[in-house]
Structure 1
Amino acid sequence: MNGRPNQPRRGGGRGRGRGQQQKWRPQHQHHDGEHWESRAGGSETDYSEPRGGQWGNEQPDRWNQRCEGGQRSLGRPPPQHEHQHQYHRPQRDNRHLPDRDKQQQNWRQRGDQDGGMTEPNTQDTQHQRHNNKRTQQRQEEPEQGVQPPSEYPHGTCLTMCPRREIQDREAQCRLHRFEMLAGTEHDRKPKADPARMVKEYSRPAAGKDATLSSDLRPSAVLLKTVCYLVDEIAASTTLQPWSEVYSFVFDRLRCVRQDMIIQRSSGPDCLAVLERSVRFLLYASYRLCGEPLQLYDPKINDTHLQESLSWLLEGYRLQDEENHDTHTRGTGMEDGSSQSEEPEEETSRKTGVEVGRHGRQNGNREEFEALNLLYNLGCARVTQHVLELPAHVRSSHAVDQALAISRAFSERNPVRLLRLAGRLDFLQRCALHRHLPVCRRHLLAIYSHGHSSRNCRYPLPHLATLLALTESQTQRLCQAHGVPLSQDAGTGWVAFSKAHFLEKPTGEGEGEGEGISCADAHQKEMRKEAEVKVALIIHGHG
């Protein structure tokens, strides 16, 4: 407070002199010609500026203008936004104002004439113009990250490894021993063998252009590289240990898939590469099961196997759709009606696509659909995918057998599952093997509760047959789960008891979480595999 609460503040608005206080004085007259106050019982100071600094700032002198006709209504002056049209704003001389103020003043006057048009905001207009310009640029520019198919890079490297990478790795001593020139392995700086060099995988880095055509290999060269890795490296009996072989082949196959992704490869060569990659990863998951993490990581192997399987199955679907459309156009069939009697063999010769009885290309789709279901046993998404397959794929022997095993697994019938598993071929058992320990544990749990009796004994050889194990392996498995065993007249007996059964087995060593190691459980299958060459298995002939 300024010490004078009952006195008005000094000073006025813009253009007022010091000490000059201008008040609004109504000039209305009564009908009898005498002046009277605007409010009943009020004085002229009722509409003066606020006293005692109650409002903080002065109110603008808005009501000092006379209304049209020189009359004002009784009571408080109406708000400006409600009766703006009743007041007249005098014209002002703009000659003494700057250009920008003149423009704004002209807009105000135009607004009064047009009935309320507001003053343009210069900053809003600039932002709007900028946004419109950016929108037009975005529409004109091509979308970043998704290029048209014509702009995808195409590889021109016709060797398994680009020449520049061979020189760099040789100079930096980054050659694998499988790629060194014979006789220079023990030298201070080994030499590279161009015939054995394979492009290694490298992560994308900032400033590194991975789309150079000279560093990318076409699909035919990629297939040739994969065949070399399978025949000369993975199937070699002289390159040991096999865990090192797996590490080398795994890295080079990863680089092959990287080149395919950059080039958006598709077609028969792409599918052939993915087929061999999936078979190799399945075989490795079976052969290296139970190895230390330093030598084999099952999680990483599973991730790459799932990605390759998804890519391969999607390629099969697209290829079948394309071949079906080609077959339909070639035979003139539309909406199920045939307009041409030309045989399918003639159509296949003209279109260059081998068409089968169902208008599709003969391939290995049934094999890998079954492998996908066996490897992801119990997965609802994969089971739904298989049930939605075309009839000619779903009714094949491999898929039908995989569906039977999946049904037994969902019904918790381990006896039937293990019996059906014995009819699978080697690669299908490789896909199913990681689910077998769980099935064996379920079988022991069911028998421990169903045959739990003091006077009941179950023959050990028969139980070993049900578990698809040897008698020694069955004994170790029963001991790990707490199932009592007995020996009578040279024959082993099992005394099931639900009180002694242990859900979590007690393993004595690493990799023996189920009572027996994976390598020990695979001895029987590995003996069968020794009769078949690894190259034939990966190429799909085993």
Structure 2
Amino acid sequence: GALSAQDAQAAEQRALRFGTGPAAAAPRPPSAPDADEDEPAPRQGALVGTCEDMCPARERERRENLHDVQIFERVDPEDSGRTSAALAVRRFARTIDDPLPSDFRTRAALQRTMDHLRGILDRGDVRFGLVHKFLWDRYRAVRQDLYVQGIDDEFAVTVYEEIVRFHIMCEHELAGEDQSVTEMEGFNSHLNIEQMNKSLISLSDMYDKLAEAGRPQPKGTPVSRENCANDRSRMQLSPLMQLILAEAEFRAYHLLSLMAQHGKFKGDQQSFLSTLQGLRADVRSAAPVLWVLRLQRAQASGNFVAFFKLVRGANYLMACLAHIYFVSVQRHALSVLAEALTVSAARPAAVEAAWLQRMLMLDSESRVVELCASVGFDAAPMSDGAQGIVLERGSDQDPPAPVQRTRCEQISDKAPATRSQAVTSSNAPAR
């Protein structure tokens, strides 16, 4: 179908970013007389894929025989033993017996795969958790194809950027739908963050290699310090500054993931600082990185008011990733408020749950009550009948009881109209 104006603009920006059009996705042999000198060859010894389908034929046949065709790949939704080249997508395999070039996809096939998976991402007729589980595996296989073939140029960068955004979006939108003993199909935040981190590390390596080679940059535009002014509105920025902001977006995500402890991942201040210091000055001074530094200062100093103000003003994906810290910041805020508002042991502070709901970016008063109970603060009606919380100094529970992180409606309201817009554009319009 025809591209929408927004899709056409996104395609134009991507072409500008890498100085290439859509046709450049398919590689040309470096030895060919008309080969583009800017098109890098695979690393020496790397396998070059020849599969032009989204799934190699021998894998497709094997999975049909095993009735291992997933719901999104089936010709008939009820038949797990039949798929087609137009539906099957290569799944991740930790080991591949006797790998052949025909087992790995060409750039053109990988591009078609990403386009196809984007369509599945936007499906509203199935539970999003099922979409995530399928794409989590298929994106991992895409990364494997790129790695095996030694593809780490601008094409790989755009693929990895989309995959990282997918994991960030899912980390927020699927919060609260956790996997459990009774619900094995639920969301596994730990595995999602793990793959996001691996993708970010690979992406950082690609940025470093491209910078060393003087790429990416608009053709004819030299990379120099003079070109790298501090960022303002993206609409007023030079093409080179747009490239810097694009890289800064993902460098910022990496820093944000290292900022403090979340889930089973411990905060690593040493890695945070070394990663920050390793950034080029133009990237380090770009808006996304500066925003993370402000958020880190607010979190580290216990300034929950500043923390939530920054999140409210952030774009959708940055807010999605900041959400991993919500419960710890909210609990700390309750302890600070109890300490500040309690007059004496005989006169604990009583505050309205609605006030805490607004202050701490919670979606409902019942969520306020649940969070407060997890740290030992009781609910009690106020004199006017409103739901209240008793914040008593020294009564907060340590360690707090487990509480499930759930998605925040204020963050979801920032999302663009479709999920595919969220993963392909950092400045997609809000709903």
TM over 0.5: yes
Q: Structure 1 residue aligned with 2:108, among 207, 210, 220?
A: 220
Within a 5 Å distance, the mapping from 1:97-108 to structure 2 comes to: none
> Cα distance 1:279–1:357, how it changes in 2: closer, same or farther (>3 A)?
closer
Per the TM alignment, residue 266 of structure 1 is displaced from its structure 2 partner at its CA by: 1.5
Runs of at least 5 residues in structure 1 that lack an aligned partner in the other structure: 1-147, 344-354, 507-512
> Cα distance 1:439–1:325, how it changes in 2: closer, same or farther (>3 A)?
closer
Within a 5 Å distance, the mapping from 1:437-448 to structure 2 comes to: 437-448=327-338
Q: Does 1:369 align with 2:263?
A: no
Within a 5 Å distance, the mapping from 1:504-515 to structure 2 comes to: 504-506=399-401, 513-514=402-403
Residue deviations 1:476-535 (CA, integer Å, cap 9, x gap) = 3223322244411244554421242223444xxxxxx23xx433x524433554x62111
Residue deviations 1:445-497 (CA, integer Å, cap 9, x gap) = 11222222244645424333221124342233223322244411244554421
Residue number in structure 2 paired with 1:496:
391
Answer whether contact 2:165 2:317 (CA < 8 A) is retained: yes
Residue number in structure 1 paired with 2:33:
none
Q: Does 1:385 align with 2:275?
A: yes
Per the TM alignment, residue 168 of structure 1 is displaced from its structure 2 partner at its CA by: 2.5
Q: Structure 1 residue aligned with 2:83, among 152, 175, 192?
A: 192
CA distance in 1, matches of 2:111, 2:92: 16
Answer whether contact 2:210 2:216 (CA < 8 A) is retained: no
Secondary structure of residue in 2 paired with 1:209: coil
Residue number in structure 1 paired with 2:405:
518
Q: Structure 2 residue aligned with 1:237, among 111, 124, 129?
A: 124
> Cα distance 1:331–1:288, how it changes in 2: closer, same or farther (>3 A)?
closer
Which has the higher mean CA deviation after the structures are superposed, 409-418 or 452-461?
452-461
Residue number in structure 1 paired with 2:134:
248
CA distance in 1, matches of 2:304, 2:331: 9
- TM-score, with normalisation over the residues of structure 2? 0.74
Q: Does 1:267 align with 2:153?
A: yes
Answer whether contact 1:486 1:495 (CA < 8 A) is retained: no
CA distance in 2, matches of 1:418, 1:496: 20
- TM-score, with normalisation over the residues of structure 1? 0.60
CA distance in 1, matches of 2:288, 2:244: 15
Answer whether contact 2:255 2:272 (CA < 8 A) is retained: yes
> Cα distance 1:449–1:209, how it changes in 2: closer, same or farther (>3 A)?
same
Residue number in structure 1 paired with 2:204:
313
Answer whether contact 2:162 2:424 (CA < 8 A) is retained: yes
Q: Structure 1 residue aligned with 2:289, among 388, 394, 399?
A: 399
CA distance in 2, matches of 1:160, 1:192: 12
> Cα distance 1:363–1:525, how it changes in 2: closer, same or farther (>3 A)?
closer
Residue number in structure 2 paired with 1:174:
68
Residue number in structure 2 paired with 1:538:
423
Residue number in structure 1 paired with 2:306:
416
> Cα distance 1:361–1:448, how it changes in 2: closer, same or farther (>3 A)?
closer
Secondary structure of residue in 1 paired with 2:302: coil
Secondary structure of residue in 1 paired with 2:325: helix
Answer whether contact 1:156 1:213 (CA < 8 A) is retained: yes
Residue number in structure 1 paired with 2:230:
none
Per the TM alignment, residue 225 of structure 1 is displaced from its structure 2 partner at its CA by: 0.9
Which has the higher mean CA deviation after the structures are superposed, 244-253 or 460-469?
460-469
Q: Which has the higher contact order (CA 8 A, sep 6+)?
A: 2
CA distance in 1, matches of 2:195, 2:69: 24
CA distance in 2, matches of 1:396, 1:274: 21
Answer whether contact 2:66 2:81 (CA < 8 A) is retained: no
Which one has a bigger Cα radius of gyration?
1
Residue deviations 1:40-84 (CA, integer Å, cap 9, x gap) = xxxxxxxxxxxxxxxxxxxxxxxxxxxxxxxxxxxxxxxxxxxxx
- In structure 1, give the amino acid aligned to 2:327: P
Equivalent pairs, count? 358
Residue number in structure 2 paired with 1:202:
93
- In structure 1, give the amino acid aligned to 2:359: L
> Cα distance 1:331–1:198, how it changes in 2: closer, same or farther (>3 A)?
closer
Q: Tell me how large the CA RMSD over aligned residues is.
A: 3.1
Residue deviations 1:353-400 (CA, integer Å, cap 9, x gap) = xx9557x95562111111122222233112331244222212211111
Per the TM alignment, residue 264 of structure 1 is displaced from its structure 2 partner at its CA by: 0.9
> Cα distance 1:502–1:266, how it changes in 2: closer, same or farther (>3 A)?
same
Structure with greater helix percent: 2
Q: Structure 1 residue aligned with 2:340, among 433, 450, 470?
A: 450
